[in-house]
């Protein structure tokens, strides 16, 4: 067998082997009494935007697409979800103190305004999460209203 053939076989074998590395894709249960949308009595239009563009990475309501079951892509997806939940998790909103809530709302408004969120790589595979300028402004205004009224 030629050298190229052996390399291809090794690559296939390694790719097959890494599929056996388990990734935990279970979502913890969501307590509606702690969830941002429920607690804040978020208007339906804003709720829809949050669910569409934010909740996959920033809540316990992640919907894993097919590509999230193929390593090494699955590792990257899981890493992004863990990172997103670490920065802000709408499913445990009521667990945060007032300072953290204020900081998360400020950061959310800034990141949406600067187009850091949703992350461009996410939008490529989830075009439904791509917010129009009007939708971005709706979210930013909502977060700013909450900050101004200090009802978070």
Using only C-alpha atoms, the chain has a radius of gyration, in whole angstroms, of 19
Q: What is the pLDDT of residues 62-117, one digit of tens each?
A: 999 999 999 999 999 999 999 999 999 999 999 999 999 999 999 999 999 999 99
Give the integer Cα–Cα distance in Å for 142 and 147.
Answer: 9
Q: Give percent of the chain above pLDDT 90.
A: 86
| Structure-model confidence comparison of residues 1 and 93, the more confident one | 93
DSSP per-residue letters across 46-74: HHHHHHHHTTTTSSS-----GGGGSTTHH
DSSP per-residue letters across 93-148: GGGS-HHHHHHHHHHHHHHHHTT-SS-HHHHHH-GGG---HHHHHHHHHHHHHHHH
Q: Supply the pLDDT for residue 152.
A: 87
What is the value of pTM for the model shown?
A: 0.87
DSSP 91: G
Q: Supply the pLDDT for residue 99.
A: 97
Q: How confident is the model at residue 1 (pLDDT cuts 50, 70, 90)?
A: low
């Amino acid at each position: 067998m030629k050298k190229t053939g052996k390399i291809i076989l090794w690559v296939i074998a390694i790719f097959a082997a890494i599929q056996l590395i388990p990734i935990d894709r279970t979502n913890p249960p969501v307590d509606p009494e702690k969830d941002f949308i429920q607690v804040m009595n978020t208007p339906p239009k804003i709720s829809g935007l949050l669910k569409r563009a934010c909740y996959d990475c920033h809540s316990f309501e992640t919907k894993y697409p097919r590509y999230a079951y193929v390593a090494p892509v699955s590792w990257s997806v899981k890493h992004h979800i863990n990172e997103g939940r670490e920065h802000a998790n709408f499913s445990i909103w009521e667990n945060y103190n007032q300072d953290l809530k204020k900081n998360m709302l400020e950061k959310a408004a800034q990141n949406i305004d600067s187009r850091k969120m949703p992350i461009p790589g996410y939008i490529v595979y989830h075009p439904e999460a791509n917010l129009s300028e009007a939708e971005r402004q709706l979210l930013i205004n909502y977060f700013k209203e909450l900050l101004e009224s200090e009802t978070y």
